Chain A
Amino acid sequence: MDLLVQVLINGTLLGGLYAMMALGLALVWGVLNIVNLAHGAFIMLGAYVSLYLFTYLHIDPFLGLPITAAVMFAIGYCVQRGLLNLIVRAPMFNTLLITFGLEVVLTYLAQLAFSADFRTINPSYAGDSIVLGPVVLPLARLLAFGVAIALTVGMWVFLLHTTLGRAIRATAQNLVAARLYGVEPRHLYAVTFGIGIALAGTAGGLYGTVSQINPYIGAALTAKSFAISIIGGLDNPLGVIVGGLFLGILESLTALYIGPTYADVASFGVLVLVLIVRPTGLLGKAA
């Protein structure tokens, strides 16, 4: 019984991190209709930004997250303004092609800049944990979970209740009408993508405190974020939390009861199932 409780806790904490990773992808996809195949590479870059802030400026990885987010926002803004705005109304295939290329370029630039060495963001408390009787709550994961939930809920509030959030949604829904109301779409696209990349970078900072990082972690993280976005649905940030938690718990239970090799089989199996049965995601509006 204790083992099951522990594994459920592990899965929940993992799920929070998953949700955080997927949030930016879901936002960019939902609003800009860009499936950003470079998303994982941006998570990786965010992890390196956090690592360098921690290693050279001795900024705590959690306190440094706003800086990481700001740096990544700037990168995201520039990428959208200079590159992706060119293809924003192009067929989906073009966006896939260009973001895939971006992923390759970012990955190899990262190897040039940071080498292929494995790194960890390892503050003194990274391995600490809170022990509650028979179960253990790893501190870094708990903090990462907290940040993830706070940002996801914050995202939801932002999109629903702020002027900028409304403008972003309005542009996504009806570009012509949004323009008539004075929205400047190119800037707004770039802001949206910037926010998405800032979220990816934040996820990267969190990821680096619980896992090793190297220039090649991106592709797998894109795939996972993709699955979570599909399972959770794109039109609601809370769906991403549900998708993330669902996947985290599912993988942990699969590893416990069926075997660790089957964790990925289970998550991508569910992805296929959701696509067949409920293509708008678990929380998405029925098609």
Chain B
Amino acid sequence: MLKISGLSAALIAAAVAMSSGSAVAKDIVLGASVQLTGPVANTGRYYRDAYQLAVDKINEAGGVKVGHETYTLALKLYDNQSDVNLSVRQYTQLVSRDKVNFLLGPFASNFALADSAVSEKYQIPMVQGGGASDQIFSRKFKYIFGTLAPASHYFGSTVEMMKGLDPAPKSVALLYADDAFDVSVAEGTRPKLKEAGLTLAMDERYSTNATDFNSLLSQIKSKNVDAVLVAGHETEILNFVRQAKSLAVAPKMYSFTVGVPSEDFRKALGKDADYAFGMTAWLPSADLKDQWFGDAAQFASAFKAKFNYDPDYHAASGAADVEALVKAVEDAGTIDPAKVRDALSKVDFDSLYGRIAFNENGQIDLPQTVIQIQDGKLVAIQGVHGKIAAPKYPMPAWDAR
């Protein structure tokens, strides 16, 4: 039985291949420049791997149907070596020399901010899930679409959760790196803290790639700050936590925009990662249905099986970018960039990452779920519909863990 069905499938495939003739050979090329080396390669790899997995999956499922023709997806990736200027040059090369059909994004807001100028200039749609800064979308560009929640909303759910903590935190330190993403986070967080009636005891900007947080930590201790919110990069957050321990600085809670959801972070810190709060717009839940992967849980296991590490929200948003482009091409019924752009502005579908429907600025808004590391495991604490699990709060002193 198995043999017969295998044979018939092969016959059907052969028949399809012959009938569609040259259509099979047609490619829709998606171009991107991603950080495969350099200081942010650690996060850049999520995008490379997610793009590849999504492209493979969609091709396996029969490719992209445009009118009566079927296209195969192809990926053209460059390594921008974590260099913004190189990234801009590579995107220019992708559209002008390589003549790719559509663009996928790089990682990080400062990259997306610069690279989106290329997509706008050449009028080639770029769907990116690596840049969240509000700055990217405030310029009324028509060809940039983003699948990360606005940076200014990142700490929203955390502040919401803080209102319900007992004993309630009163004073807050807000620390942020001096780049596009983190400045946007800080700008959005200040009014939320004020609304919640919290005192902003410290509001400090530090240099990106700072390694020494001892002065800031000593101030946090001296001012007896209850809650510390840090918008920064993984390397900074790692140093921050290690130095907090060595200076015995234990506020009632601390929360970080990045790091906490990634496996690498938990591995590097071991049990010192416990109690850290973070946020994610995505968890690999089976509730998130998807046309190609089935659901988010299946996406996560396929990802882990292929690349041997767990995906986080960066990977999920990267995969959703490919899906959004495919949806838009199918909706538009053409690969004409301007028409696909218009179709992108209207897409509305459920993906492994969540519902994808862009607002007029081209961004989607997904709520952030508050997460916490408890005994080495990532626990969802508070989502859109309220409390999910009890937070471990207040954080005990370092020598009492």
A7-B218, A118-B264 given; A138·B246 CB < 8 A: yes
Q: Are B248 and A129 in contact (CB under 8 A)?
A: yes
Q: Does A85 contact B (CB under 8 A)?
A: no
**Chain A interface bracket (under 10, 10 to 19, 20 to 34, 35 or more):** 35 or more
Q: Does A264 contact B (CB under 8 A)?
A: yes
Q: Are B242 and A212 in contact (CB under 8 A)?
A: yes
Q: Does A6 contact B (CB under 8 A)?
A: yes
Q: Does B339 contact A (CB under 8 A)?
A: no
Q: Does A128 contact B (CB under 8 A)?
A: yes
Give the interface segment out of A24-32, A67-75, A255-263, A269-277: A255-263
Tell me which of A6, A120, A253, A256 contacts B269 (CB under 8 A): A120
- Which residues of chain A in 114-172 are interfacial with respect to chain B, using CB atoms and an 8 Å cutoff? 116-120, 122, 126-129, 131, 136, 138-141
Q: B245: which A residues are within 8 A, CB to CB?
A: 126-127
A3-B222, A14-B214, A260-B215 given; A210·B42 CB < 8 A: no
Tell me which of B82, B215, B246, B267 contacts A140 (CB under 8 A): B246
A116-B45, A127-B245 given; A212·B218 CB < 8 A: no
Q: Are A251 and B242 in contact (CB under 8 A)?
A: no
Contact with B along A88-119 (1 / 0, CB 8 A): 00000000000000000000100100001111
A127-B272, A131-B248, A220-B209 given; A120·B214 CB < 8 A: no
Q: A141: which B residues are within 8 A, CB to CB?
A: 246
Q: Are B41 and A6 in contact (CB under 8 A)?
A: no
Chain A residue nearest to B39 in the complex (CB): A216
Q: Are B246 and A126 in contact (CB under 8 A)?
A: yes
Tell me which of A3, A117, A263 contacts B264 (CB under 8 A): A117
Chain B residue nearest to A135 in the complex (CB): B218
Q: B41: which A residues are within 8 A, CB to CB?
A: 111, 116
Give the interface segment out of B52-60, B233-241, B378-386: B233-241
Expressed in whole angstroms, the minimum distance between the Cβ of A220 and any Cβ of chain B is 7
Question: How distant is the Cα of A255 from the Cα of B248 in the complex, in angstroms?
Answer: 19
Q: B239: which A residues are within 8 A, CB to CB?
A: 211-212
Q: Does B205 contact A (CB under 8 A)?
A: yes
Q: B206: which A residues are within 8 A, CB to CB?
A: 255, 260-261
A259-B204, A260-B205, A260-B210 given; A10·B246 CB < 8 A: no
Q: A2: which B residues are within 8 A, CB to CB?
A: 222
Question: How distant is the Cα of A152 from the Cα of B241 in the complex, in angstroms?
Answer: 30
Q: Are B37 and A252 in contact (CB under 8 A)?
A: no
Q: Does A236 contact B (CB under 8 A)?
A: no
Expressed in whole angstroms, the minimum distance between the Cβ of B147 and any Cβ of chain A is 23
Q: Are A3 and B238 in contact (CB under 8 A)?
A: no
| Cβ contacts A to B, 25 pairs, < 8 Å | A10-B214, A116-B37, A116-B45, A117-B42, A117-B267, A118-B265, A118-B268, A120-B242, A122-B269, A126-B246, A129-B248, A138-B247, A211-B239, A211-B242, A212-B235, A212-B238, A212-B242, A214-B235, A216-B38, A252-B214, A252-B215, A255-B206, A256-B219, A260-B216, A261-B178
Interface, chain A (partner B; CB < 8 A)? 2-3, 6-7, 10-11, 14, 108, 111, 116-120, 122, 126-129, 131, 136, 138-141, 210-212, 214, 216, 220, 251-253, 255-256, 259-261, 263-264
Identify 13 new A-B residue pairs, CB closer than 8 A, beyond the known A127-B245, A260-B210.
Answer: A2-B222, A10-B212, A10-B218, A122-B272, A136-B246, A211-B239, A216-B82, A251-B212, A252-B215, A256-B219, A260-B207, A261-B178, A263-B215
Interface, chain B (partner A; CB < 8 A)? 37-39, 41-42, 45, 82, 178, 204-207, 209-216, 218-219, 221-222, 234-235, 238-239, 242-243, 245-248, 264-265, 267-270, 272, 398
